[in-house]
């Protein structure tokens, strides 16, 4: 009985008290642990690695062909292929360590990133609303925006894991393949651009993930909406541009806007952006900022409507 009485007594907190920002970090850690337990996420991570390895080895292949086999014929799967034609095909991806190398990588990585974020939104935020967990979080000494910040940190970690970190690895590889003494010094703006691109994706997409997850909550409708945003809208914008010849119609394509913002961070020439025509960089920034502001306004209205019983 004495041992039971000891266990039932009040035991004061002996740790170091921290502010609400530490609670946001704890929410982010718990959210990431919840995601890594799902096997589907590991399969999507493996698919994202395939995209990275394609760019990683293709960048090396371009240098190898250019330096040693520029006038010869190579064989792939027993089929002779002109090295010059193969280099021309790979050049479309700009695998030469320039701004378009990293822009194209993030563009293609986005197909996997969209699926990851759609599933992550339903797991991290949708379930909190569907199962009534949000009032429990808000009953603690943290504010509503600290909850949003914690979830955005978790989503941002996924975004940077799939885009920024692999892009940094490609930048390091490009320096090793070319003259590293001049490449790294002459392309520090690309390094800063990669971080700027990652920050742009983190802020805009994390807010969009949280907002759509609060709105829809469940996985199936969330995936359908995200496929509409990042698959149907690009197709629609392309048709409208071809029909009207007004490049401003591309502004309804959020992923293209983020791509333009990323190329602006990487200091890429606007005339070199494909496909043409494209809206100006400032228009893409304005459209992206408008989406972020709309998400913040929606989250403010929905989260403040949650009743908390202390």
Distance CA(52)–CA(38), nearest Å, equals 22
| Residue 215: predicted pLDDT | 85
10-residue mean pLDDT series, the chain (310 residues):
55 68 81 85 89 89 68 54 59 80 91 87 75 68 79 91 94 85 87 94 92 81 82 89 88 92 92 88 95 91 66
The span from the CA of 84 to the CA of 66, in Å, is: 8
| Omega prior to 88 cis, within 30 of 0 | no
CA of 283: how far to CAs of 126, 254, 260, 289, in Å?
32, 12, 9, 10
Q: Distance (Å, rounded) from C-alpha 44 to C-alpha 38?
A: 10
The whole-angstrom separation of Cα 111 and Cα 48 is: 9
From CA 123, how far away is CA 152, in angstroms rounded? Answer: 13
Query: Would you state the structure tokens that stand for residue 307, as one six-digit string?
Result: 């009743």
The owner of tokens 């394509």 is 253
pLDDT of res. 131: 67
DSSP per-residue string spanning 215-268: HH-SHHHHHHHHHIIIIIHHHHHHHHHHHH--GGGGGG-HHHHHHHHHHHHTT-
The encoded tokens of residue 191 equal: 């390094």
DSSP state of 279: -
Q: Say what the alpha-carbon torsion angle 180, 181, 187, 193 is, to the nearest 10 degrees.
A: 70
pLDDT at 7: 55
Indicate the SS3 state at residue 272.
helix
* End-to-end Cα distance, the chain: 33
Which residue in this structure is represented by tokens 């080895």?
57
The reported pLDDT for the residue numbered 32 is 87
Give the pLDDT score at 201: 94
> What pLDDT score does 305 carry?
64
Tokens of 282: 């400032």
């Amino acid at each position: 009985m004495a041992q039971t009485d000891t266990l039932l007594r009040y035991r004061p907190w002996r740790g170091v008290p921290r502010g609400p920002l530490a609670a946001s970090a704890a929410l982010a850690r718990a959210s990431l642990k919840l995601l890594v337990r799902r096997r589907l996420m590991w399969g999507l991570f493996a698919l994202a690695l395939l995209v990275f390895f394609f760019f990683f080895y293709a960048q090396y292949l371009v240098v190898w062909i250019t330096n040693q086999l520029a006038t010869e014929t190579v064989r792939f799967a027993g089929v002779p292929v002109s090295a010059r034609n193969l280099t021309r095909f790979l050049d479309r991806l700009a695998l030469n360590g320039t701004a378009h190398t990293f822009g194209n990588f993030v563009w293609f990585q986005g197909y996997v990133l969209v699926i990851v974020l759609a599933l992550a939104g339903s797991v991290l935020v949708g379930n909190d609303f569907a199962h009534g967990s949000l009032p429990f979080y808000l009953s603690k000494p943290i504010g509503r925006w600290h909850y949003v910040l914690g979830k955005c940190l978790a989503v941002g970690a996924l975004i940077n894991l799939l885009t920024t970190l692999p892009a940094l690895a490609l930048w390091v590889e490009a320096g090793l393949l070319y003259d590293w003494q001049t490449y790294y010094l002459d392309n520090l703006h690309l390094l800063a651009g990669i971080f700027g691109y990652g920050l742009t994706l983190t802020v805009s997409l994390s807010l969009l993930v949280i907002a759509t997850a609060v709105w829809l909550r469940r996985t199936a409708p969330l995936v359908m909406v995200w496929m509409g945003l990042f698959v149907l809208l690009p197709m629609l914008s392309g048709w409208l541009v071809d029909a009207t010849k007004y490049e401003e119609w591309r502004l309804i394509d959020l992923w293209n806007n983020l791509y333009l913002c990323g190329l602006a961070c990487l200091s890429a020439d606007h005339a070199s952006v494909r496909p043409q025509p494209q809206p100006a960089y400032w228009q893409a920034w304005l459209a992206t900022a408008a989406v972020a502001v709309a998400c913040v306004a929606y989250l403010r209205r929905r989260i403040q409507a949650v009743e908390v019983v202390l």
